[in-house]
A and B are shown apart, each in its own frame.
Chain A
Amino acid sequence: MAQLDQVSTQKEEMLDSSSLLYELSRDLVSILDGYQVVSVALSYLAKVPDCQVAGFLVEDNAHPEQPWRFTVRIYRLGGESLVPQLTQRTIDAMQTVSEHVFQLNKVSIIIDGERQPDTALSQVNRELRSFASLPLIMRQQVIGMVSIGSGEKGIFNEGVVRLVSTIANQIMIAISNCRYIEQVAAARQAERLKSEFISNISHELRTPLHSIRGFTKLMLQGKVPDPETQKEFLTIIDNQSEHLGKLIDNLLDVSRLESGRFQIQKRYMSIKNTIHDAVESFYSLASEQGIVINEDIPATLPEIGVDGERLRQVMVNLLSNAIKFSNDGGSVTVKVEVKDSELMMQVTDHGIGIPEEVMPRLFERFFRVKDSAGVGGAGLGLYISKQIIEAHGGRIWAESKAGEGSTFSFTLPLNQAGGDSYG
Chain B
Amino acid sequence: MDKRILVIEDDPSALRFIQYTLQQEGYRVLTATNGLAGIRKAQNEELDLIVLISCCRV
In the docked arrangement, what's the CA distance between A358 and B10, Å? Answer: 24
Interface residues of B in 1-31 (CB under 8 A from A): 10-11, 13-14, 16-17, 20-21, 24
How far is the CB of B11 from the nearest CB of chain A, in Å?
6
Contact with A along B20-58 (1 / 0, CB 8 A): 110010000000001000000000000000000001011
In the complex, what residue of chain A is closest to B17 when comparing beta carbons?
A214
Do the beta carbons of B58 and A202 come within 8 Å of each other? yes
Do the beta carbons of B58 and A236 come within 8 Å of each other? no
In the complex, A192 has a CB within 8 A of chain B: no
Chain A residues whose C-beta falls within 8 Å of the C-beta of B11 in the assembled complex: 207, 211, 376
Q: How many A-B residue pairs have CB under 8 A?
A: 38
Chain A residues whose C-beta falls within 8 Å of the C-beta of B14 in the assembled complex: 207, 210-211, 214
Contact with B along A146-185 (1 / 0, CB 8 A): 0000000000000000000000000000000000000000
Chain B residues whose C-beta falls within 8 Å of the C-beta of A200 in the assembled complex: 57
Chain B residues whose C-beta falls within 8 Å of the C-beta of A239 in the assembled complex: 13
In the complex, what residue of chain B is closest to A214 when comparing beta carbons?
B17
* Partner pick for A373 among B34, B57, B58, CB 8 A cutoff: B34
In the docked arrangement, what's the CA distance between A214 and B19, Å? Answer: 12
Do the beta carbons of A236 and B10 come within 8 Å of each other? no
Chain A residues whose C-beta falls within 8 Å of the C-beta of B55 in the assembled complex: 203, 374, 376
How far is the CB of B50 from the nearest CB of chain A, in Å?
17
In the docked arrangement, what's the CA distance between A214 and B20, Å? Answer: 11
* Partner pick for B24 among A210, A223, A374, A376, CB 8 A cutoff: A223
In the docked arrangement, what's the CA distance between A200 and B34, Å? Answer: 20
In the complex, what residue of chain B is closest to A215 when comparing beta carbons?
B17
In the complex, A218 has a CB within 8 A of chain B: yes
Interface residues of A in 234-264 (CB under 8 A from B): 236, 239-240
In the complex, what residue of chain A is closest to B34 when comparing beta carbons?
A374
| Given A199-B57, A374-B55, CB of A211 within 8 Å of CB of B17 | yes
Do the beta carbons of B10 and A374 come within 8 Å of each other? yes
Interface residues of A in 354-375 (CB under 8 A from B): 373-375
In the complex, what residue of chain B is closest to A208 when comparing beta carbons?
B13
| Given A199-B58, A203-B57, A374-B55, CB of A240 within 8 Å of CB of B21 | no
In the complex, what residue of chain A is closest to B10 when comparing beta carbons?
A374
In the docked arrangement, what's the CA distance between A239 and B24, Å? Answer: 24
Do the beta carbons of A240 and B57 come within 8 Å of each other? no
Do the beta carbons of A240 and B13 come within 8 Å of each other? yes
Chain B residues whose C-beta falls within 8 Å of the C-beta of A374 in the assembled complex: 10, 34, 55
Chain A residues whose C-beta falls within 8 Å of the C-beta of B34 in the assembled complex: 373-374
How far is the CB of A123 from the nearest CB of chain B, in Å?
62
Chain A residues whose C-beta falls within 8 Å of the C-beta of B10 in the assembled complex: 374-375
Chain A residues whose C-beta falls within 8 Å of the C-beta of B58 in the assembled complex: 199, 202-203
Do the beta carbons of A218 and B13 come within 8 Å of each other? no
Interface residues of A in 183-224 (CB under 8 A from B): 199-200, 202-203, 207-208, 210-211, 214-215, 218, 223-224
How far is the CB of B25 from the nearest CB of chain A, in Å?
11
In the complex, what residue of chain B is closest to A374 when comparing beta carbons?
B10
In the docked arrangement, what's the CA distance between A223 and B57, Å? Answer: 30
Chain B residues whose C-beta falls within 8 Å of the C-beta of A224 in the assembled complex: 20
In the docked arrangement, what's the CA distance between A229 and B24, Å? Answer: 13
Query: Measuring CB to CB, which residues of chain B are less than 8 angstroms from any residue of chain A?
Result: 10-11, 13-14, 16-17, 20-21, 24, 34, 55, 57-58
Query: Measuring CB to CB, which residues of chain A are less than 8 angstroms from any residue of chain B?
Result: 199-200, 202-203, 207-208, 210-211, 214-215, 218, 223-224, 229, 236, 239-240, 373-376
The 5 A-B pairs at the shortest CB distance, nearest first, are namely: A211-B13, A214-B17, A374-B10, A199-B57, A236-B13
16 A-B pairs (CB sep. < 8 Å)? A199-B57, A200-B57, A202-B57, A202-B58, A203-B58, A210-B14, A211-B13, A215-B13, A215-B17, A218-B20, A218-B21, A229-B20, A236-B16, A239-B13, A374-B10, A374-B55
